[in-house]
Amino acid sequence: MIATDTTSAIGALFADVQAQHVFKDQKTFADAEPLFALPYIAAKYANQKNWPGFDLLAFIRENFFIPTSAEANLSSDAGSICDYIHNLWDSLTRFNNLDKGSLIGLPHPYVAPGGRFNELYYWDSYFTMLGLAESGRLDLVEGMVDNFTYLINSIGFIPNANRTYYLTRSQVPFYSSMVRLLQDKKGDAVLVKYREALEKEYGFWMRGAENLNQQPASLHVVKMEDGALLNRYWDTENTPRPEGYALDIALMNKVPGNKNLYRNLRAACESGWDFSSRWLADGNNLHSICTTEIIPIDLNCMLLHLEQTLLDAYTVSGNGSMRRKYETIVAGRIDAIEKYLWNEADGVYKDYHFLKKQHTVSRSLAMLFPLYVGISSSEHAAQVLAFVRAHLLKEGGLLTTDVATDQQWDAPNGWAPLQWIGYKAALRYGDRDLAGAIRSNWMSNIEYRFAQTGKLMEKYPVMKKYDGKNTGGEYPNQDGFGWTNGVYLKMKNA
């Protein structure tokens, strides 16, 4: 596992490659496949690295297969964008049932996002599945759900993606949403089929709750002052990310006293919002990141969705005692979300800094998740939707936050999954005008840029004045792109 072994001889090789920026993208070597046994490569490197004229890149090419980005090799003259996307699925489909380097083998084919992301990503996949279902590709949807189930059963949780360097964290828990998508297509028997895996998924997120008599937080779980349990993002490692090694080292050099910097960077990656002012103590500088000190709105709403799905699964299967257990759990989390994440002064939901016992400053689209899962009161929902209309809706869709920084999950960017969350949230609370505006503005943005480039991208600026400008992030905008394709198709048919 070249990407995780950072202390052995192969770890030294890995560190040298990343520190010297042998590859432009730090993910490239993390994804490399060794051509020989790692101990052999490590010993050879230790022997040769100090030879006169030693060429590190040549050594890597002799001993590793270097993957390339997954380009979307389809002509944009396929007809409409919908036709283009329907044809693109096969180009983005991967099948690997054997472990290769850092890549974890899976039993079924899956759709990768595209570009540098050539593996199965957790929360991306739900939004991709929305489009697959519209394309009639239920085979891929079910296979991907079964891949995630395989990961739950084999390693105990769903990692960020099927790479060994992601085995220290998960991602936004959309597994229950995937199961619900299948339930809509195949009936309630789906809930029974996946109930055990749903329980294991829930157990992963709630692990550590048994330790909270001595401390306020353990792993992903936080015990609030009134005894309520809420959750945070977390990573079990506090070391530089293999896929961002040199970047993390450089950041630590700015704040050498920040002993939790690496873990907070990793936890932000678990959030999917890597990176955003949401997680920054000063709202601007990445070295002030404090992800693990924050109770996030989106995480707790999606865990509520998981709890509600388990409640329904036990109801369907006729297990009264477990149904009553989850009725209590669901009610408790709803109360805690309203108590700790509603900010009366701003009239929106906001993340909560549990060490400071106050809301964070950030106002982000995460405020829409309580509406998306349907737990907001009509009064609170009206205030949130009014804020979104006034401050976050732009000509190209919804801004991610109301501040512009160098981070890609801030203004001026919009992201497909959050457009879908916003669209569904507005519909759920009867604001068809806002829902329609989100849908039409976002789709027009996609169509406008597709006409220019012939591609669909990972993210989009939602204000025209940012056309052609760098809009932040530690890597370039990627094309493909799974969740953009999925949400566009689903909105088109809505």
Query: So which residues are the catalytic ones?
Result: 274, 458
Spatial distance between the Cα atoms of 336 and 350, rounded to a whole number of angstroms = 13
Spatial distance between the Cα atoms of 370 and 465, rounded to a whole number of angstroms = 32
Residue 397, strand partner residues: 394
Q: CA-CA distances (angstroms) from residue 14 to 5, 36, 281, 458? A: 8, 15, 31, 28
Q: CA-CA distances (angstroms) from residue 380 to 48, 162, 336, 424, 436? A: 65, 39, 15, 16, 21
Q: What are phi and psi of 217, to 5 degrees?
A: -145, 145
From 334, 460, 436, 445, select the one nearest 385 (Cα to Cα): 436
Identify the three-state secondary structure at position 349.
strand
| 317 burial level (CB within 10 Å; 0-12, 13-18, 19+) | middle
Q: Is 136 left (phi over 0), alpha (psi -120 to 50) or beta?
A: left
Place of tokens 């749903």: 198
Beta carbons within 8 Å of 378's beta carbon, 6+ residues apart: 429
Beta carbons within 8 Å of 54's beta carbon, 6+ residues apart: 48
Tokens coding 438: 């989100």
Contact indicator for 118, 69 with CB cutoff of 8 Å:
yes
Write the single-letter amino acid at 164: T
Q: Which helix (H) or strand (E) holds 467?
A: none
Place of tokens 């070295």: 287
Beta carbons within 8 Å of 113's beta carbon, 6+ residues apart: 92, 121, 124, 128, 458, 478, 480, 481, 482, 483
Q: CA-CA distances (angstroms) from residue 19 to 27, 51, 242, 243, 255? A: 13, 19, 11, 12, 18
CA–centroid distance for 279 within its chain: 15
Spatial distance between the Cα atoms of 342 and 23, rounded to a whole number of angstroms = 45
